[in-house]
Amino acid sequence: MILDERYHNFRAKVKDFADKEVAPRAKGLDQKGEFPWDLVKRMAELELLAIYLPKEYGGAGLDILSYAIAVEEVGRVCGSTGIFLAAHASLGIFPIYFAGTEEQKQKWLAPLAKGEKIGSFGLTEPDAGSDAAATQTTAKLVGEEYVVNGTKRFITSGSIADIIVFTATKDPLLGYPGISAFVVEKGTPGFSPGKDEEKLGLRGSITSELIFEDCKIPKQNLLGNEGDGFKIFMETLDGGRISIGALALGIAQGALDASLKFAKENKKSGKPLYKLQNIQSMIAEMATNVEAARLLIYQAAMLKDNNKPFTKEAAMAKYYASDIGTKVTNMAIDIHGMLGITDQYPVERFLRDEKLMEIGEGTSEIQKIVIARKILGK
Ligand code: COS
């Protein structure tokens, strides 16, 4: 795809960081289930934590396409660091930027952009995953405070986050119009992290429960108006799906790169692997899938950057990139043979990390619903 030179320069900067600083850590983070605090600090120094946020709020003042490129490049070497970046920038920062008052933006965005605080997004609950409108967590206004009760689940960076945007309803019977969006800060009495999940992949990232027990949140922490929560979160997820697509793309590119290296360095019956037709066929298929995913993701990013509708395109990008991502990482293992399932090569990690891309921020089935409704005019 032909991109302006500034995107090539930006990619080169992120690629250099990813190759030199993130790649050497990726295997250890995965194996030890260790969160990369040092890399968060470096990403803050490189202005990668809030790429699209205007400079007045502490961001890099770039755009969504640059942000997608950054997630892709980091994800190419480490899915765990990539998902942290995507969750922090798309889910932690965006709803405040999108729906916050000037005062709320001034208070919360700069510390998030500078990495002094970690952001997170609490939507999913034990009984409200794909059906986001089924939120059971309640927020009742008592005087000047909302009293919140409920549990959130599978929240990226949940237990380490300082600033968490979450949904709660006035009454679960009201459906989506009852849902509002709030910010809770770490240390607020009645708010505590529950357990962190042990996961198949993305093991260097944190996925937690969040528990609210009579947690009192000041009225000033409401984002937008009461009842706006569902739409704020849907708009946030539209953008988040671009970044999850970019992460799926990055991981797939990493698997393709590893396969090319392996095919060049190894032989079968004395013949270099890359000269075998079936290996060439697999490489061609993988490369075509990766390039097609890239086009869809960049298209969605450019639409958002140009203030055009992009809900359908973001859903297509996320659906397609995660779908081919799982396929491409699987093929990468096939190219490596038995070695591919050992920890001597990164491709087994890529497959484990890639699987989440089909599930998080809306499953593939949800993306298909979003796409079909847009096409059919619902
Ligand atoms: N942007 C803005 N508004 C949106 C929107 C979007 N992308 N999608 C829906 N809305 C609005 C609709 O326009 C509707 O408002 P009106 O009644 O004023 O027209 C309202 O929100 C309800 O929409 P809808 O009836 O489509 O809601 P559904 O309950 O049918 O749910 C899906 C829609 C399935 C798309 C939604 O629940 C969803 O995305 N679920 C997946 C959640 C998810 O991704 N979870 C991942 C975990 S969070 S990391």
Residue whose CB lies within 8 A of the most ligand 1 atoms, among 231, 303, 358, for a mutation test? 231
Which ligand 1 atom is nearest residue 133's CA?
Answer: 29
Q: Are 121 and 112 in contact (CB under 8 A)?
A: no
CATH number, domain with residue 303: 1.20.140.10
Same domain, 225 and 237: no
Cα of 234 from ligand 1 centre, angstroms: 5
Could you give the CA distance from residue 134 to residue 35 in angstroms, rounded to a whole number?
A: 31
Check whether residue 330 and residue 254 sit in a common domain: yes
Domain count, the chain: 3
* Residues with catalytic function: 361
- Domain boundary, last residue among 113, 140, 161: 113
User: Which amino acid residue places its CA nearest to atom 8 of ligand 1?
Assistant: 234
- How close is the Cα of 172 to the center of ligand 1, in Å? 16
- Chain center to CA of 84: 7
Report the C-alpha gap between 265 and 213 in whole angstroms: 57
**Which residues surround ligand 1 with Cβ inside 6 Å?**
123-124, 130-133, 176, 230-231, 234-235, 237-238, 311, 360-362, 366, 369-370
Q: Are residues 250 and 370 in the same domain?
A: yes
Residue at which a domain ends, from 229, 258, 283: 229
State both tokens at 368: 């298909």
Which of 210, 229, 248 is the last residue in one of the domains?
Answer: 229
Residues 81 and 169 in one domain: no
Residues 278 and 345 in one domain: yes
Which residue type sits at 45? E
Q: Which residue owns the Cα nearest ligand 1 atom 5?
A: 234
The pLDDT profile of the chain, 378 residues, written as one tens digit per residue, is: 789 999 999 999 999 999 999 999 999 999 999 999 999 999 999 999 999 999 999 999 999 999 999 999 999 999 999 999 999 999 999 999 999 999 999 999 999 999 999 999 999 999 999 999 999 999 999 999 999 999 999 999 999 999 999 999 999 999 999 999 999 999 999 999 999 999 999 999 999 999 999 999 999 999 999 999 999 999 999 999 999 999 999 999 999 999 999 999 999 989 999 999 999 999 999 999 999 999 999 999 999 999 999 999 999 999 999 999 999 999 999 999 999 999 999 999 999 999 999 999 999 999 999 999 999 996
DSSP assignment of 220-262: GGEESSTT-HHHHHHHHHHHHHHHHHHHHHHHHHHHHHHHHHH
Residues 262 and 352 in one domain: yes
- Between the CA of 238 and the centroid of ligand 1 the distance, in Å, is 10
Q: Helix (H, G, I), strand (E, B), or coil: what is residue 47?
A: coil
CATH number for the domain that contains residue 150: 2.40.110.10
Q: How far is the CA of 232 from the centre of ligand 1 (A)?
A: 10
- Structural domain containing residue 353: 230-376
365 and 250 belong to one structural domain: yes
Question: What is the 8-class DSSP label of residue 200?
Answer: S
